[in-house]
């Protein structure tokens, strides 16, 4: 296999790793939702899966569509095909994607609210959870008190994964990311008073625990669902099957 082909493997997996489950706020690669990747001279074919056959169709479509969009911008990728396996709406979703139809065209009268509205709802929940994580960490370090948190700025956060995750979530929902932007804000991005902080943090903590709990539950369901296929290891972890037959001309 050529260096170019090996590099393409990494680019494809990185693109898929940029796709987040809209509800769980985690990469679909880490969740085990990428079943297989096949790269050939013509392009790439990806198969996705979910923990159950009855996972919400709008979530399923959003995941497939986002994966397709992420792969489409990989240089030299060729034709992109993303299919969903083992879901009660697999046939409908796969046909809609192959025909280049949108969500509403794919599901017709069955389509629920706008996918962008759904995406926005979960992006805001993800931001809330990320905001709680950095605030709790600053309290744990003893560098800030609960009363001082309304004055906490992005500049004050240590350069770690929590800060970077918060900045990505802020960017996704249109909040400012300048060094002196306030960290702890309400739904409208406005500052909070010291009296409002405890309630806001409790609500944010509930949201974070819900997201993390759902992710753990989904991993367990996925491992159980595919345990008898040999696709899950003894620890329940999944490894994406990647094949690449592309050669330099």
Same domain for 133 and 198: yes
| Interval 60-91: pLDDT, tens | 999 999 999 999 999 989 999 999 999 999 99
Q: Give this prediction's pTM.
A: 0.82
Same domain for 239 and 199: no
The token duo for 189 is 């991005």
Same domain for 205 and 171: yes
**55: pLDDT strictly greater than 80:** yes
Structural domain that includes position 32: 3-113+220-244
34 occurs within a structural domain: yes
CA 228, 230, 232, 233 torsion-angle sign:
positive
Number of neighbouring beta carbons within 10 Å of residue 106: 20
Distance CA 147, CA 201 (A): 12
Same domain for 231 and 191: no
Same domain for 167 and 181: yes
Range with the poorest average pLDDT among 2-6, 107-111, 163-167: 2-6
Same domain for 108 and 8: yes
| Interval 131-173: pLDDT, tens | 999 999 999 999 999 999 999 999 999 999 999 999 999 999 9
Residue 174, judged by CB atoms within 10 A of its CB (0-12, 13-18, 19+), counts as exposed
Place of tokens 């500052």: 191
How many domains are there within the chain? 2
Same domain for 124 and 52: no
The token duo for 123 is 């992006």
Q: Count of residues for the chain? A: 249
Q: Give, in degrees to the nearest 5, the angle at Cα 12 between 28 and 213.
A: 10
Same domain for 170 and 156: yes
Same domain for 92 and 27: yes
> What's the CATH code of the domain at 37?
3.30.300.130
249 occurs within a structural domain: no
pLDDT band, very low/low/confident/very high, at 35 (cuts 50, 70, 90): very high
Integer angstrom CA distances of residue 148 from 63, 117, 143, 189, 200: 39, 34, 10, 18, 14
**232: pLDDT strictly greater than 70:** no
């Amino acid at each position: 296999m050529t260096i170019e082909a090996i590099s393409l493997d990494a680019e494809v997996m990185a693109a898929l790793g940029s796709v987040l489950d809209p509800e769980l706020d985690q990469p679909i690669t880490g969740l085990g939702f990428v079943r297989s990747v096949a790269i050939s001279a013509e392009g790439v074919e990806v198969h996705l899966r979910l923990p159950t056959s009855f996972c919400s169709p709008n979530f399923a479509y959003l995941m497939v569509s986002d994966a397709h969009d992420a792969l489409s911008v990989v240089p030299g990728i060729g034709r992109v095909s993303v299919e969903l396996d083992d879901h009660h709406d697999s046939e409908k979703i796969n046909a809609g994607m192959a025909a280049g139809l949108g969500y509403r065209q794919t599901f017709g009268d069955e389509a629920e609210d706008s996918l962008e509205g759904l995406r926005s709802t979960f992006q805001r929940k993800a931001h809330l959870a990320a905001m709680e994580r950095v605030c709790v960490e600053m309290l744990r370090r003893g560098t800030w008190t609960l009363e001082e948190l309304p004055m906490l700025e992005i500049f004050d956060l240590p350069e770690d994964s929590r800060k970077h995750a918060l900045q990505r979530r802020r960017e996704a929902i249109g909040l400012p990311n300048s060094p002196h932007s306030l960290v702890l804000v309400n739904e409208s991005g406005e500052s909070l008073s010291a009296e409002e902080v405890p309630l806001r943090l409790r609500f944010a903590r509930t949201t974070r625990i819900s997201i993390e709990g759902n992710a753990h539950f989904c991993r367990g369901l996925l491992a159980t669902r595919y345990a008898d296929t040999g696709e899950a290891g003894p620890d329940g972890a999944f490894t994406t099957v990647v094949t690449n037959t592309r050669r330099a001309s």
